[in-house]
């Protein structure tokens, strides 16, 4: 059968490759023509270990093609972004656009899977949208007979940086609008998934995905709050956590400059949005993590007071270690906040995964992107924001005599 994967980003493209590698005929669909061109030539528009070789292989054997037009297919996987709007509700416009592309292609018998992380009820909404757009077809509703088109939610849980491994080995949750929808989705994911496939209803699958990321967010917030308290008490938070984690039932995560990425900093809001009066903890965790970049920036600004004309070097802009993704990155927020507070400061940034400064920093005259070699020797203050391997393994002797602010605890 043929599978159309709508959205060739961090999730869609690896999913398309996984299916194509198992012998399915996969068409990748994206609105971005550059992305489509790249994939059609076997290239990958972003950095993810082992993905490039898999894409060029799948394209090479003719199993994976790419286009801007949604084709007729037996299964459709929607893997488009679901960012949040300024009021922190989900922006479902990309999902809606995908549904509008799929609807005219349906002939009956297809499976439509929503993979995008979505607020509770979105899969049901997708089914309702399809029903409105195609009144000639029977769409699934709980407890009703066999529909013409099956609809399910199969959230992804892969970790950027380990996507190609986790795509295959992670357990998967497949939630159907009806049990039959879940069964259909299971047989599609069975093609490549080696982990357990857990069948459930669509809303439980939606909620499980959100809960996973909220769990991590709350736990990181706990670590970040400990870092604030420890700093206040002049304690080394890493030492405190190391000791506490020797308890058999304690496993505290790592504090850092904040929480970035497109999932953990977003998904908890979808839970808050679904029950605002019942979620003070999840909301507080979000606020603790969102407040961290400002705190780090304020600490750095305070440290500059002891110099006449200091040079500050910030190491890392990516949202986490060893990825090239600078979007939604607390490190970028830290650098921007330092530059806002001290516009005349000589501020150098080192990011081995970037060739240019991101939009938030590019217009600032005193902020420059440099190599570690160029930047560090001149530095008075070195701020470690991302624990890239390159920074971890840096010789400590290069930091001698400098004020060091290590937000990741890698040099302790």
Of 286, 320, 348, 388, the residue at the interface with ligand SAJ (CB under 6 A) is 320
Structure tokens at 222: 């706990």
Q: Are strands 2-6 and 75-78 parallel, antiparallel or unpaired?
A: parallel
Q: Report how far residue 351's alpha carbon sits from residue 365's, in angstroms, rounded to the nearest whole number.
A: 18
Among residues 130, 158, 226, 313, the one that binds ligand SAJ under rule CB under 6 A: 158
- Residue 411, by phi and psi: left (phi above 0), alpha (psi -120 to 50) or beta? alpha
Structure-token match 């488009």, residue found: 80
From 4, 39, 126, 263, residue interacting with ligand SAJ (rule: CB under 6 A): 263
- Please, which residues bridge with residue 384 across strands? 315, 406
Q: How far is the CB of 206 from ligand SAJ (least distance, A)?
A: 12
* Residue of 37, 154, 181, 209 marked active site: 209
What x-and-dash track marks residues 160-179 binding ligand SAJ by CB under 6 A?
x-------------------
Binding status of residue 316 toward ligand SAJ by CB under 6 A:
no
Query: Which residue in the list 37, 154, 181, 263 is annotated as catalytic?
Result: 263
Residue by residue, DSSP assigns 151-176 as EEE----PPTTSHHHHHHHS-EEEEE
Q: Does 388 bind ligand SAJ (CB under 6 A)?
A: no
> Is 263 assigned a catalytic role?
yes
Contact indicator for 187, 193 with CB cutoff of 8 Å = no
d(CA 52, CA 64): 13
Q: Which stretch binds ligand SAJ (CB under 6 A): 54-62, 79-87, 250-258, 278-286?
A: 250-258
Nearer of residues 226 and 259 to ligand SAJ, judged by Cβ = 259
Cβ of residue 230: shortest distance to ligand SAJ, in angstroms?
15
Q: Closer CB to ligand SAJ, residue 30 or residue 333?
A: 333
Length of the chain: 412
Interaction pattern, residues 195-214, with ligand SAJ; x per rule: CB under 6 A:
-----------------xx-
Residue closer to ligand SAJ (CB basis): 306 or 327? 327
Q: Are 13 and 29 in contact (CB under 8 A)?
A: no
Note whether 157 binds ligand SAJ by CB under 6 A: yes
What Cα–Cα distance (Å) separates residue 72 from each residue in 7, 109, 311, 412? 16, 12, 58, 56
Residue 90 binds to ligand SAJ (criterion: CB under 6 A)? no
* Closest residue by Cα to residue 314 from 302, 291, 295, 297: 297
> Crossing angle, helix 330-341 and helix 280-304, to 10 degrees?
50
Which residues form the catalytic set?
Answer: 209, 263
User: Residue numbers of the site for ligand SAJ (CB under 6 A)?
Assistant: 117, 156-160, 212-213, 216, 220, 253-254, 256, 259-261, 263-264, 319-320, 330
């Amino acid at each position: 059968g043929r599978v159309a994967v709508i959205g060739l980003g961090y999730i869609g493209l690896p999913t398309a490759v996984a299916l194509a590698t198992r012998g399915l005929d996969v068409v990748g669909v994206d609105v971005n023509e550059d992305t489509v061109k790249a994939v059609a030539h076997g290239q990958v528009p972003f950095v993810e270990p082992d993905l490039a070789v898999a894409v060029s292989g799948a394209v090479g054997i003719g199993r994976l093609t790419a286009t801007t037009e949604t084709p007729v297919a037996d299964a459709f996987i929607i893997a488009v972004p679901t960012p949040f709007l300024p009021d922190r509700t989900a922006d479902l416009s990309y999902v809606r656009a995908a549904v509008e592309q799929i609807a005219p292609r349906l002939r009956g018998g297809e499976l439509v899977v929503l993979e995008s992380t979505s607020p509770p009820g979105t899969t049901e909404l997708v089914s309702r949208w399809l029903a409105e757009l195609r009144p000639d077809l029977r769409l699934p509703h709980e407890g009703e007979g066999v529909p013409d088109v099956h609809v399910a939610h199969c959230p992804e849980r892969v970790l950027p940086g380990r996507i190609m491994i986790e795509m295959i080995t992670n357990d998967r949750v497949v939630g159907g609008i009806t049990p039959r929808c879940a069964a259909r989705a299971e047989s599609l994911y069975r093609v490549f998934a080696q982990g357990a496939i857990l069948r459930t209803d669509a809303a439980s699958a939606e909620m499980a995905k959100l809960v996973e990321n909220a769990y991590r967010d709350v736990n990181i917030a706990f670590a970040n709050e400990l870092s604030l308290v420890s700093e206040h008490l002049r304690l080394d938070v890493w030492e405190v956590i190391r000791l506490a984690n020797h308890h058999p039932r304690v496993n505290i995560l790592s504090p850092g400059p904040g929480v970035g990425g497109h999932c953990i900093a977003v998904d908890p809001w979808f839970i808050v949005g679904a029950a605002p009066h019942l979620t003070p903890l999840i909301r507080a965790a979000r606020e603790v993590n969102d407040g961290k970049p400002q705190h780090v920036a304020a600490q750095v600004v305070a440290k500059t007071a002891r110099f006449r004309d200091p040079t500050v070097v910030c190491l890392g802009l990516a949202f986490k270690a060893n990825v090239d993704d600078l979007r939604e990155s607390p490190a970028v927020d830290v650098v921007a906040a330092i530059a806002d507070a001290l516009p005349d400061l000589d501020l150098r940034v080192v990011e081995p995964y970037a060739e240019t400064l991101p939009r938030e920093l590019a217009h600032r005259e005193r902020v420059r992107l440099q190599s570690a070699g160029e930047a560090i020797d001149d530095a008075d203050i070195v701020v470690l924001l991302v624990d890239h391997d390159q920074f971890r393994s840096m010789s400590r002797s290069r930091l001698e005599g400098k004020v060091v602010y290590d937000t990741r605890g890698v040099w302790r």
